[in-house]
């Protein structure tokens, strides 16, 4: 196993797999709750987290986690107050991204490869990164599985949740925390701009094949895992950027399941 | 002790006062129907009881460990969420297969277990909602226009089922209904709501109350008046 992890390709594959498996079930909730843009906004804010982390010499994981979490809470809070959500998200997401990009330019001494954080740099994943990715991913999975029934009820209808003694606001908060965690572990793998794709595309691809929420989550995880492995392999064969190759693979799988659905009666 | 005991309940949305000074109790084994024009706060009252709406004044006391079976007025299931009838019945707590079948049978939709919720007709959907409300051993059913989308025989069978349940399991029912003629037959008590409780009592008592007549017109054929009613309830309905 130790020798195996010496190979950067194996590390890349495991990193991609870890992120995909954690992102897929969470991505189902993002799709069901129509939070796609919410996920994007939070992910874009991650660049600001990267800048702050580098500026204050903190770990990038911690910086991204804190800023994503703050962004997600801010957005959730604003949408509770009935502001026009898409407008607010547009303002916040792009502002955070722009401030992040500007802030990064102030950082001297460290040669920051911005592309690595915008599009990910999965081939540079080290053992430490791998541990963070799998621990973070596992935490997300545990959180989602533990709260599954309550999350699902609250997603279906907040009122049905209340009547069953479930507070849908708590469940929303749990999803928000899980989302920030996924973004923090995924930024190294696919980058801030493509995290949303890893959340949404596998879930959307799984929808036509699933008859229950649980099956959709499991199929989404399988499709996400397949995309990660396929993307790494394709990038090796054709010397293409790895993060985008993973997303391309997921997109092709999405098209395939949509076609399969059409072919069936 | 009452299952639900409401004193001086007031709810505001924005600046608008939706409910004020509402007093209401529901005892075990009682069928209570709330009637009132559109916008009179019926749904808000039910949502306050389940805890989805916070009271701005007054209090709602629920019996300890009270299990509520709630059937909402409307439930939209996002088309991206796959959900079979069987899976829906097990939300949030898993139920045994034979219990699920029994509940579906009681609600008159026996063979639907494997169907997608989104593929059901309006009437079937309502019955599945009711089946779910029955499943979790509710002490009280809160039904918000539960018979909408049902045809006449379906609706009649529905009210019969409610009465049977009350008789067999001694559960209470608090429901909102627009079907005045049915309400008058099926309820132990009718509460006439228009922002506050205009009047309440046995159906025949309420039907003859001046407050009720002001809202719905004389006789129970006045159902149409529901929709024509203008909302100046302070003139129509005396404060208590």
Contact A80/B at CB under 8 A: no
Instruction: Measure B237 CA to nearest chain A CA, in Å.
Output: 30
Average pLDDT over residues A167-180: 92
Pick out chain B residues at pLDDT < 50: 220-240
Partners of A158 on chain B (C-beta within 8 Å) are: 52
Note whether residue A262 is domain-resident.
Answer: no
Residue A217 located in a structural domain:
no
Query: In Å, how far is B45's CA from the nearest CA of chain A?
Result: 13
Asked whether the beta carbons of residue B82 and residue A210 sit closer than 8 angstroms, the reply is yes
Do the Cβ atoms of B81 and A155 come within 8 Å?
A: yes
Pick the closest to residue A48 from A108, A110, A114 (CA basis).
A114
Structural domain of residue A111, as residue ranges?
Answer: 2-192
- Tell which residue, B134, B135, B152, B151, has the closest CA to residue B143: B134
CA dist., res. B48 & res. B144, Å (int) = 13
How many CB pairs (< 8 A) connect A and B? 69
A12, A134, A182, A33: CA torsion to nearest 10 = 110
Q: How far apart are the first and last CA of chain B?
A: 24
Residue A112 has pLDDT above 80, yes or no: no
CA-based nearest residue in chain B for residue A168 = B52
- ipTM, two decimals: 0.86
What pLDDT score was predicted for residue B206? 79
**Could you say which residues from 93 to 132 on chain B have a Cβ atom under 8 Å away from some Cβ of chain A?**
93, 116
pLDDT attached to residue A28? 96
| This prediction's pTM | 0.87
Encoding tokens for residue B63?
A: 């019996």
Q: Of A156, A210, A215, which has the smallest distance from its Cβ to B91's Cβ?
A: A156
- pLDDT, position B54: 92
For B85, nearest residue in chain A (alpha carbons): A212
Is A208 within 8 Å of chain B by CB?
no
**Is A32 an interface residue toward B (CB < 8 Å)?**
yes
Partner B contacted by A161 (CB < 8 A): yes
For residues A245-263, average pLDDT: 92
In a domain, A173, yes or no: yes
Mutate to test the interface with A, among B44, B84, B92 (most CBs of A within 10 A): B92
Cβ-based contacts of A157 with chain B (< 8 Å): 72, 75
With respect to residue A210, please indicate whether it lies within any of the assigned structural domains: no
Q: At what angle do helices A36-55 and A8-32 cross, to 10 degrees?
A: 130
* In a domain? residue A220: no
The angle subtended at Cα B142 by Cα A154 and Cα B192, nearest 5°, is 130
pLDDT number for residue B218:
62
Instruction: Flag whether A175 is in a domain.
Output: yes
The secondary structure of A13-37 as a DSSP string is: HHHHHHHHHHHHHHHHHHHHTT-HH
Tell whether A264 is covered by a domain. Answer: no
The number of domains in chain A is 1
Q: Do A156 and B47 touch (CB under 8 A)?
A: no
Q: Is B171 within 8 Å of B27 (Cβ atoms)?
A: no
Which CATH number belongs to the domain containing residue A64 in this structure? Answer: 1.10.3470.10
**pLDDT surpassing 80 at residue A163:** yes
Q: Where are the alpha helices (DSSP H) in A107-126?
A: 114-119
A31 touching chain B per CB within 8 A: yes
Which contacts qualify for A160-166: CB closer than 8 Å, 24 or more apart? A160/B70, A160/B72, A160/B75, A160/B91, A161/B92, A162/B47, A162/B50, A162/B51, A162/B52, A163/B50, A163/B51, A163/B52, A163/B68, A163/B69, A163/B70, A163/B142, A164/B68, A164/B92, A164/B93, A164/B136, A166/B92
pLDDT of B153 reads 82
pLDDT at A258: 92
Question: What pLDDT does residue B212 have?
Answer: 78
> What average pLDDT does the segment A210-219 reach?
96
- Asked if the Cβ–Cβ distance from A32 to B78 is below 8 Å, we say yes
Q: Look up residue B17 and give its DSSP letter.
A: E
Q: Looking at the predicted structure, is the pLDDT value of residue A138 above 50?
A: yes
Whether residue A201 is contained in a domain is answered as no
């Amino acid at each position: 196993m130790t020798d195996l992890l010496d190979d950067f390709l194996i590390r890349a594959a495991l990193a991609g797999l870890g992120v995909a498996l954690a992102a897929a079930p969470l991505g189902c909730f993002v799709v069901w709750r129509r939070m796609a843009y919410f996920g994007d906004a939070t992910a874009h804010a991650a660049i600001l987290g990267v800048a702050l982390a580098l500026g204050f010499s903190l770990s990038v994981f911690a910086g991204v986690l804190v800023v994503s979490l703050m962004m997600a809470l801010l957005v959730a809070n604003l949408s509770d107050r009935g502001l026009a959500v898409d407008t607010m998200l547009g303002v916040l997401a792009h502002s955070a991204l722009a401030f992040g990009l500007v802030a990064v330019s102030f950082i001297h001494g460290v040669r920051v490869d911005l592309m690595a954080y915008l599009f990910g740099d999965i081939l540079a994943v080290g053992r430490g990164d791998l541990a963070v990715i799998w621990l973070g991913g596992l935490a997300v999975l545990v959180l989602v599985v533990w709260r599954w029934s309550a999350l699902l009820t609250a997603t279906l209808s907040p009122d049905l949740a209340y009547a069953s003694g479930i507070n849908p606001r708590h469940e929303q908060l749990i999803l928000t925390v899980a989302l920030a965690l996924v973004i923090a572990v995924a930024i190294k793998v696919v980058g801030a701009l493509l995290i949303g794709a890893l959340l949404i595309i596998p879930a959307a691809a799984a929808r036509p094949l699933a008859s229950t929420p649980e099956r959709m989550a499991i199929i989404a995880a399988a499709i996400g895992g397949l995309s990660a492995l396929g993307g790494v392999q394709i990038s090796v064969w054709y010397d293409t950027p790895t993060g985008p190759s993973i997303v391309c693979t997921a997109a092709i799988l999405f098209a395939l399941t949509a076609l399969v659905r059409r072919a069936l009666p | 002790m009452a299952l639900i005991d409401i004193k001086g309940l007031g709810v505001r949305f924005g600046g608008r006062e939706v409910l004020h000074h509402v007093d209401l109790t529901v005892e075990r084994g009682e069928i209570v129907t709330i009637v009132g024009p559109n916008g009179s706060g019926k749904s808000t009252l039910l949502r306050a009881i389940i805890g989805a709406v916070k009271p701005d004044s007054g209090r709602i006391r629920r019996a300890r460990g009270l299990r509520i079976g709630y059937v909402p007025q409307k439930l939209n299931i996002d088309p991206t969420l796959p959900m079979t009838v069987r899976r829906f019945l097990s939300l949030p707590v898993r139920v045994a297969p034979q219990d699920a079948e029994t509940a579906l049978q009681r609600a008159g939709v026996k063979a639907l277990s494997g169907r997608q919720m989104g593929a059901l007709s309006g009437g079937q959907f309502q019955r599945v909602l009711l089946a779910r409300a029955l499943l979790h051993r509710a002490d009280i059913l809160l039904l918000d226009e539960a018979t909408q989308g049902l045809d006449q025989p379906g609706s009649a069978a529905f009210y019969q089922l409610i009465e049977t349940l009350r008789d067999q399991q001694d559960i209470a029912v608090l429901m909102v209904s627009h079907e005045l003629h049915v309400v008058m037959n099926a309820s132990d008590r009718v509460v006439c709501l228009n922002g506050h409780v205009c009047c309440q009592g046995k159906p025949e008592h309420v039907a003859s109350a001046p407050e009720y007549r002001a809202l719905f017109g004389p006789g129970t054929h006045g159902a149409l008046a529901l929709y024509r009613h203008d909302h100046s309830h302070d003139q129509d309905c005396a404060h208590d």
